[in-house]
Structure 1
Amino acid sequence: MPTIHLNGQEREVTSHPDMPLLWVVREEFDLTGSKYGCGHGVCGGCVCEVDGAQVHLCKNTVADVQGKKVITIEGQEGPVAEAVFNAWLALDVAQCGMCQPAQIGSAIILLKQNANPTDEDIDEAMKHNLCRCATYHRIRKGIHYAAATLQRTGYQESSSN
C-alpha cells in the first residue's frame, strides 16, 4: 500500500495510487477542509500545500505526491498560520466560507515565501482561488494584516515555518 506524508505524519493509503488526492484526503482521512468545486483545477477550492507550493488536490493523485510533504488546512501551524488565522478572524474576512480553507492555505504559502507582499504579489498568489462571494478585497486586506503582524513579531522568511 502506498503512503503519503500528510500533515506531518506518514499515512498509509488504501486507495489506488491513481485516486485523486482530494478524495483520499476527504474520504480516507476525514480532512474536509479541502473542498470539491470543479474537479478540473480551476476553482481552487482544493488548493493545499505540497512541498511549499500551491497544488490542486483534485488534479493530483496519490502517486503524484509520493515523497512530498502534503499540508492541508487542518495541518497548517506555526507563526505564519497563526497570523493568517488571526487576521481572518479579526477582519471577518470570510463570507460564506466555501473557499476559505483554500484561501487561507494559499495566504499561508504566500507569506512563508514573501513576508511582505505587495497587492500585485497577493493577486498573483491568489489568482487560482475563486470566491463566489467576491471577498477578494477582504482577503487581500487579511493578508496585509497578517504580514504586518509577522513584521511586528520579527518573523523572517528564513525562520522555521
Structure 2
Amino acid sequence: MAFTLTVNGETHSIDADEDTPLLYVLRDELKLHGAKYGCGVGQCGACTVLRDGAPLRSCFVPAASLGGQAITTLEGLRGPGGALHPLQRAFLDEQAGQCAYCIPGMILAAEALLRVKPDPTEAEIRTALDANLCRCGSHNRIVRAIQRAAKERQG
C-alpha cells in the first residue's frame, strides 16, 4: 500500500503494508534511527516521537494511519542555525544519558511538555516522563536537564 507521511517537515511517499508500525517505517524506510525499539507494545517510551506536537509511541501505531499529521523525530529537533536543540544540549551538559537508549524518547516527551508548560515544576516533569522508562537510573539528571532547558528557553 502506498501512503504519504510528513516527517520532520518533509513529505515522504511510503510503500509498505498498511499495518506496518511507524517505528519500522522511520528506521527501515527513512533511515531515522533516533526512535528505538524497546518493548513493542508502547509501554517503555523508547520509540516516542511527536505527532502534531504530542508524544506518540511509534512501535505499534500503523504508519498508514498517520497521513496528514506532522511527525517529529529526534532528528527533526534543531536549534537555531541547525545547532543542537536546547534539550539536546541540556541533556549533554547534565550528563543525563548513561546508556542513552531512552534519551530520544525522553527528549521528545520533554519537548511536548515544554511546548504546553514552559516552566514546569519538578513534579510536572516527573509526571510527563512517568511512562518513559530508564533502566540506568538517570532520572534525576534527566529532570535537571529538562529544568535547565526550560530556563534557557525563557531567556
- For the superposition of Structure 1 and Structure 2, which TM-score range results when normalised by the shorter chain? over 0.9
Using the TM superposition, give the Cα deviation of residue 64 of structure 1 relative to its aligned residue in structure 2, in angstroms: 2.2
Work out the CA distance in 2 between the residues paired with 1:97 and 1:62. Answer: 25
TM-score normalised according to structure 1 size = 0.89
Shift of 1:77: 2.2
Aligned length: 151
Q: 1:122: how far off? A: 0.6
Deviation string, structure 1 residues 57-103 (Cα, Å, up to 9, x no partner) = 01211122111000010111246x72211111111111011111111
Structure 1 residue aligned with 2:3: 2
67-76 vs 104-113, which deviates more? 104-113
How well do the aligned residues superpose, as a CA RMSD in angstroms?
1.2
Check whether the contact 2:94–2:142 (CA below 8 A) recurs between aligned residues.
no
Question: Equivalent of 2:133, from 130, 135, 141?
Answer: 130
Matches within 5 A, 1:1-161: 1-78=2-79, 82-151=85-154, 153=155
Identity %: 38
Q: C-alpha distance in 1, partners of 2:138/2:48? A: 17
Unaligned runs of at least 5 residues, structure 2 = none
- For residues 101 and 89 of structure 2, the distance between their equivalents in structure 1, rounded to whole angstroms, comes to 18
- Tell me how far apart the structure 2 counterparts of residues 6 and 17 of structure 1 sit (CA, whole Å): 17
Segments of 4+ moved more than 3 angstroms: none
